[in-house]
Structure 1
Amino acid sequence: MKHILLALLPLLALLCGCGDDSLSGAVDVARVNIQIERPSDLDSDADVTRGNLSFRNVSSGLTSQWLEGDDISVMPGLYDIDYSAEVRLPSGTVTQLKAARRSVVLPASSTPVNIVMQAYNNRIADDLVIAEVFFSGTLQSSGNQYYGDDYVKLYNNTDHVLYADGITLWESKFTTVDKYNYTPDILPEAVTVQALYTVPGSGTDHPVLPGEYFLLADTGIDHRTINPNSFDLSEADFEWYDVSTKPNNLDIDSPTVPNLDKWYCYTLSFFVLHNRGFRAYGISRIPVDRDTYLRDYLYTYNYDIITEAGVFPMETSAFRMPNEWVVDAVCCSVASRYAWNVVDASIDTGWTHCGTIDKDKTRYFHSVRRKVLYINDNGTPVLKDTNDSSADFNPDCIASEIELQATAADANGTPCTTLTFDGITPVTPDAEAAYRQANHR
């Protein structure tokens, strides 16, 4: 036995040194050659540091860190790969380059797998950001799901007035839990979308002050009249409304909340956010009119559904949203089902969630809320925005409207007693009045 243990010691030492998921000395490893392509608009005189690479094994959760140019070898498997490098511009400004690839299969091979990653400048858009997405909904006292009180809350994270006129809210066509080989692949250039609703206006009709929220609701009514466990959305800024062709599934047109301009939606009844959060949501500024968009931006794609019964070729159409039009986006999923990000890494490198498993009963009454970076001297928050929803959002938060209205936080009707900026950071008594005013509450 002693001789056997002595013989095993070198192998045990190797295995114990692999907590970072790297196995450079093993035989059956995936060898990877990463080539970083820098943005075409990056100043040629910019000083770029040697970049950092992170390989996260999707199955095990283990992560290994490498430097750009290293001889990289990891265990074979499915990986999320991230790249970042610090950039000092000739002006003295310091920024970052980032790149990401999701769900990359790395097989065991003595020949390196070549992967090209397109880096992008991590710049903050001077526009509205998504502060919160409430997609999970509430429950009735019976425990049944209630529909219609979902919403998206935008925020002016700048120090000057912005205008919501022309902002388009969209939902992705593809889900983050099912990945197919869609052809042609347009992910580097556009998001595939299936619902688009636009804020009307001439350009200056809907000002959003610095530190102020802008609420887009599913149905702008006081939902407590139907479900006492819900809350009041009758003072939302806008609602999305659909003229249903299904007599048994009619939408409600609020008398107090104006309608968004409906550009397109896949459903013949009425649109609700995916209540398990398996899609991406975003806002865009589209520089063409509705008719031009619907005519020129249709995307027809092919993919195969593979089952035990065989391979079934599919052809489907949706609309494409060019990445340069996207102002902000957030990918949602759950850990037990996450497969990939349905937007390019230049838009969002991460994802957030309500619940940890599919159909998680704990997700109700909760939303995803953008984190507070710091509080200004005037008491208004500056929210975090790094184009990485994993880092930028607090998951599983009590929805802000539940907090503001002190309505039910569960199916039993237990009143909410907290008030926070982001689901975590408390609103102090001296900041409460300003926070409520920013939310029109």
Structure 2
Amino acid sequence: MDTSKFRHDWNAVPVIFALLCMAMWSCNKYKDDVAEPKMVSHRLSLNMPLNINGATLGGGTAVLTNIQTGRKYTAESFRPSGKGFAADVSLPEGSYNIAVKGIISYRLNGQDIAAKVKAARENVAIGAAETTSTTEIALNVYSAQEGFVISEIFFTGTTTPDGFMYTDDQYFKIGNNSDTTLYADGIAFVESFFTSDDKHDYQPDIMDKAMTISAIYVIPGTGHDVPVKPGEELLMALTAIDHRAVNPNSFDLRKANFEIYDKGSNPEGDQDNPKVPNLSNWYANFSGTFVMHTRGVKSYALARPMADRKTYTAKYRYKFGYIFRQGDIVVPMDEYEYFMPNAWIVDAVNLAVPTAHEWNIISPMLDKGFTYCGTVDFDESRYNKAVIRKKDGRKWIDTNNSTDDFLPNAVPSCLKRPQVVRKAARQGTAGIKTKH
């Protein structure tokens, strides 16, 4: 038996052992070189939305996601700190994406208001420091970033072959400007009480906190009944009929998604299409038929009330006064109208006549500008025109400035060809039977 082979194998053992030791040493050295990230204490400071004072934060949660590892760390115990709220969280140093959500509560006109808030910061570097480092985050009202926008308002009405104004075919559209399917049930369409051509110093002035309204119509549903895909629109008709039977210059609105039907005792009142669901009128004791102001001096908004109909109609109304002036006539006016908290408003659009514009009647936080049809007061060329939101690719432009965001004097999307106005009646709000 040849034992030389075994002698050679045994001679190799010391070499193999040495190699194993070197490998183990290298691994240990690598582990030493790549040490675990240091745990640090970091503070999140949440600032309240503008124009909201004395708010409390409920259910505040911040999720910090480590960009390198994907691990999530949560901060929930927010405490009052200065004019906002703060919480400390222990986590490894690194780069993080931060998402915050919660519900704020505050007082407005003697009522308790609740509003959803959220905020996000990306690529926040969190490192070791001698003292606790802080990241400040400004909270935004959730409704303002929800994704629904007013995409078109046709308020001027068409004209008949004889040149008379026809307003029953007014409509508006709302679009989903997000990247996900949203549910529109619960969204309210509201109209301002004041007009942009008649400025008043009304008291109390709540414009920076709420919108004073004279009409409110809400999309019915339980919360998941009216899905709207990204880029899609809902057509809301004042009267969902084929208007061509009455006015050949008009169009067919029977395929509208919803209509505004105001049931009243007057047999000459509104017309209902039973095949088209009706928006819910939340204005208590409303009598009349809603028609949008054809001169375009009102403001319109979408809102998501965080209250049911019974609560809203009972608690969200206030008394205010102003001085009505016209020539030598000076009359003190006392009013009692509903208000919509700005924190609930999803989107808003100011309308005005350029040569008659005196003021914007909603907070500049909602809309800094205005859009229009026609250029002078009682402009007969305004009929058969709409304001349509511009698009940038597949998205509607929404900078909260209607001067930049909308096409004025646009051809309505439901009107295939512009109509020639020959002798339209010089009326500002013909057909309006609204009386509160």
TM-score (normalizing by structure 1)? 0.63
Shift of 1:246: 3.3
Shift of 1:245: 3.5
Establish whether residue 297 from structure 1 lines up as the match of residue 310 from structure 2: no
- CA gap 1:231/1:140 in 2 versus in 1, 3 angstroms: same
> What is the CA–CA distance in structure 2 between the aligned matches of 1:129 and 1:308, rounded to whole Å?
39
Partner of 1:169: 189
Partner of 1:409: 419
Question: Equivalent residues in 2 for 1:29-428 (5 A)?
Answer: 91=122, 125-247=145-267, 249-264=268-283, 268-373=287-392, 375=393, 381-402=394-415, 406-407=416-417, 409-411=419-421
Q: Would the aligned equivalents of 1:229 and 1:410 in 2 still touch at CA under 8 Å?
A: no
> What is the CA–CA distance in structure 2 between the aligned matches of 1:310 and 1:288, rounded to whole Å?
40
Q: Would the aligned equivalents of 1:230 and 1:407 in 2 still touch at CA under 8 Å?
A: no
Shift of 1:255: 2.6
Shift of 1:126: 2.5
> What is the CA–CA distance in structure 2 between the aligned matches of 1:244 and 1:126, rounded to whole Å?
34
> What is the CA–CA distance in structure 2 between the aligned matches of 1:197 and 1:341, rounded to whole Å?
22
TM-score (normalizing by structure 2)? 0.64
Structure 1 alignment gaps of length 5 or more? 1-36, 44-88, 94-118, 376-380, 413-441
Q: Would the aligned equivalents of 1:136 and 1:366 in 2 still touch at CA under 8 Å?
A: yes
Shift of 1:384: 0.4
Q: Would the aligned equivalents of 2:244 and 2:251 in 1 still touch at CA under 8 Å?
A: yes
Q: Would the aligned equivalents of 1:174 and 1:279 in 2 still touch at CA under 8 Å?
A: yes
Shift of 1:260: 0.6
Q: Would the aligned equivalents of 1:38 and 1:120 in 2 still touch at CA under 8 Å?
A: no
- CA gap 1:122/1:142 in 2 versus in 1, 3 angstroms: same
> What is the CA–CA distance in structure 1 between the aligned matches of 2:84 and 2:166, rounded to whole Å?
48
Shift of 1:265: 7.1
In structure 2, the residue corresponding to 1:396 is in which secondary structure?
Answer: strand
Shift of 1:310: 4.8
- Backbone CA RMSD of aligned residues: 2.6
Shift of 1:218: 0.3
> What is the CA–CA distance in structure 1 between the aligned matches of 2:251 and 2:285, rounded to whole Å?
27
CA deviations over 1:394-428 (Å, ceiling 9, x no partner): 100000111xxx3553358xxxxxxxxxxxxxxxx
Identity %: 42
In structure 1, the residue corresponding to 2:333 is in which secondary structure?
Answer: strand
Shift of 1:269: 2.0
Shift of 1:244: 2.5
> What is the CA–CA distance in structure 1 between the aligned matches of 2:281 and 2:329, rounded to whole Å?
39
> What is the CA–CA distance in structure 1 between the aligned matches of 2:141 and 2:311, rounded to whole Å?
31
Q: Which amino acid in structure 2 is aligned with residue 245 of structure 1?
A: S
- CA gap 1:122/1:345 in 2 versus in 1, 3 angstroms: farther
Shift of 1:196: 0.6
In structure 2, the residue corresponding to 1:169 is in which secondary structure?
Answer: strand
> What is the CA–CA distance in structure 2 between the aligned matches of 1:177 and 1:120, rounded to whole Å?
34
Shift of 1:311: 2.9
Partner of 2:20: none
> What is the CA–CA distance in structure 2 between the aligned matches of 1:38 and 1:276, rounded to whole Å?
31
> What is the CA–CA distance in structure 2 between the aligned matches of 1:411 and 1:42, rounded to whole Å?
59
**Based on CA coordinates, which of the two structures has the bigger radius of gyration?**
2
Shift of 1:299: 1.6
> What is the CA–CA distance in structure 2 between the aligned matches of 1:211 and 1:143, rounded to whole Å?
36
CA deviations over 1:292-319 (Å, ceiling 9, x no partner): 1111011211111234445321101110
Shift of 1:91: 3.9
- CA gap 1:227/1:310 in 2 versus in 1, 3 angstroms: closer
- CA gap 1:42/1:369 in 2 versus in 1, 3 angstroms: farther
Q: Would the aligned equivalents of 2:156 and 2:167 in 1 still touch at CA under 8 Å?
A: no
> What is the CA–CA distance in structure 2 between the aligned matches of 1:130 and 1:265, rounded to whole Å?
25
> What is the CA–CA distance in structure 2 between the aligned matches of 1:212 and 1:297, rounded to whole Å?
32
